[in-house]
Amino acid sequence: MPPSSQHSPGLAGNESHPSNTASDIACDIFCEVIDNFGDIGVCWRLARQLKAEHGWQVRLFVDDLKAFHALCPAVDAALARQEAEGVIIEHWHAPTHAGDTLQIADVVIEAFGCELPAIYVTAMARRERKPVWLNLEYLSAEDWVADFHLRPSPHPRYAINKTFFFPGLGAGTGGVLKERALDTARETFQREAWWQERVGTAAPESATTVISLFAYENPAIDLLLEQWRDSAAPVVLLVPEGRISGAVARFFGLRGFAAGSKAQSGSITAYALGFVEQPLFDALLWASDINFVRGEDSFVRAQWAQKPFVWHIYPQADDAHLPKLDAALAHYANGLPDGARTSLERFWHAWNGVGTPDWSDFWGYREVLEQRAADWAQELARIGDLAGNLAEYAKSQLK
């Protein structure tokens, strides 16, 4: 076994040093892509933030560079090792591969319970100064999360602890990711220029409702498309190419709905958009009046966009996702007047397979929903951002 070592320049692995300054904290993030873009989406965002905002030396191990390439076109899926935005990226051949040379970081993040290579864990345990080992969990708004956040879990064989780091929407959790510059970027967003550049048309008039639609396949889409088509006010639908595109194409009697396509029926005009690199995704949410989002990362971005949104939660076996949906609603709908709250809950449920959507009832509450979206973003910001919370905790453990 080679001796473990830091991958930050100039620090030998078994050397013990009294304190870390931000720039000499080395961090390894391990990410296994289960499906779609959420796993790498969260890890890439976190990696960039730890590098750019905290000055950490970050190495990101990812087992699926194709999914990564979609979020960051600079990533070449054929390379074993590369660098993007100051982050070292290793193509991770799980489960045994741990980089060309075994280097153990000060902070090791295992994302979403992916298993670290055994050789890496052994080297962590041997390191004189034990790394801070974090299991970054999936986001859940459920109450129990605050009780489990930062709980240690001793390794069965080695004298080393893994600590659970739980994102969440409530006090006592790790919060969710938010870049320091995000609000300024949103406030200075150039709406008209965005429409010309991304959609190739002028921004719609204020009487038009602009809806972005990022979702999994969803049986409720047909009825909703009918309701939008028949609505009194015009609707513009922006559909990033993806899993729901087939259903949209069928509705319009098309064979596909690839980027650049446009379709029109009754009150709806729909545009298909290409998948853009991750930092450009937020602008779609800012350009729309209401956002349909999914999974984890886009769900979080919709909250920071301060626009009403509808969440298509990642479906799990035995409807295990439904209590999670309700837990998120309990935070997000808190403080809404009864009518709006019930309507929001009904609509989110219907979009997740429970009940039937009623667009005009739901959108009748537009104004209160807009106010709530702005208030909620302020409340959520009070928990602090996940990268900052994680960095602070890690540094407290490295002292």
Site residues, ligand TRH (CB under 6 A) = 34-39, 41, 71, 138, 214, 240, 275-276, 278, 281, 294-298, 314
333's tokens: 């709908």
* DSSP code, position 171: T
Report the residue number, 62 or 105, with the smaller CB distance to ligand TRH.
62
Rounded Cα gap, residues 30 and 231, in angstroms = 47
Distances (CA, A) of 206 to 130, 202, 286, 358: 57, 12, 14, 22
- Residue in 39, 137, 179, 385 annotated catalytic: 39
> Is there a cis peptide before residue 9, judged by omega within 30 degrees of 0?
no
CA-wise closest residue to 254 among 274, 229, 266, 272: 272
Closer CB to ligand TRH, 214 or 365, in the complex: 214
Q: Is 15 among the catalytic positions?
A: no
130/301 with CB nearer ligand TRH: 301
Q: Judged by CB, which is closer to ligand TRH: 286, or 365?
A: 286
Shortest reach from residue 274's CB to ligand TRH, in Å: 7
Which of 28, 142, 179, 296 does the annotation list as catalytic?
296
Give Dmax (Cα) for the chain: 70
Output helix, strand, coil percentages for the chain, rounded to the nearest 5.
40, 20, 45
At position 327, the amino acid (one-letter code) is: A
Answer yes or no: are the C-beta atoms of 193 and 202 closer than 8 Å.
Answer: no
Minimal distance in Å, beta carbon 280 to ligand TRH? 7
39 vs 90, beta carbon nearer ligand TRH: 39
- Give the CA-trace dihedral at 70, 211, 325, 296, to 10 degrees: 20
Nearer to ligand TRH, 107 or 300 (CB): 300
CA–CA separation, 242 and 236 (whole Å): 18
| 143 carries an active-site annotation | no
Rounded CA-CA distance 258/384 in Å is 38
36, amino acid identity: N
Nearer to ligand TRH, 37 or 393 (CB): 37
Tokens of 143: 């109450």
Is the Cβ–Cβ distance between 307 and 293 less than 8 Å?
no
Cα angle 78, 109, 133 (rounded to 5 degrees) comes to 140
Report yes or no: 361 and 343 within 8 Å, Cβ to Cβ: yes
Question: Does residue 210 sit in helix, strand or coil?
Answer: strand
Q: Show which residues are catalytic.
A: 39, 296
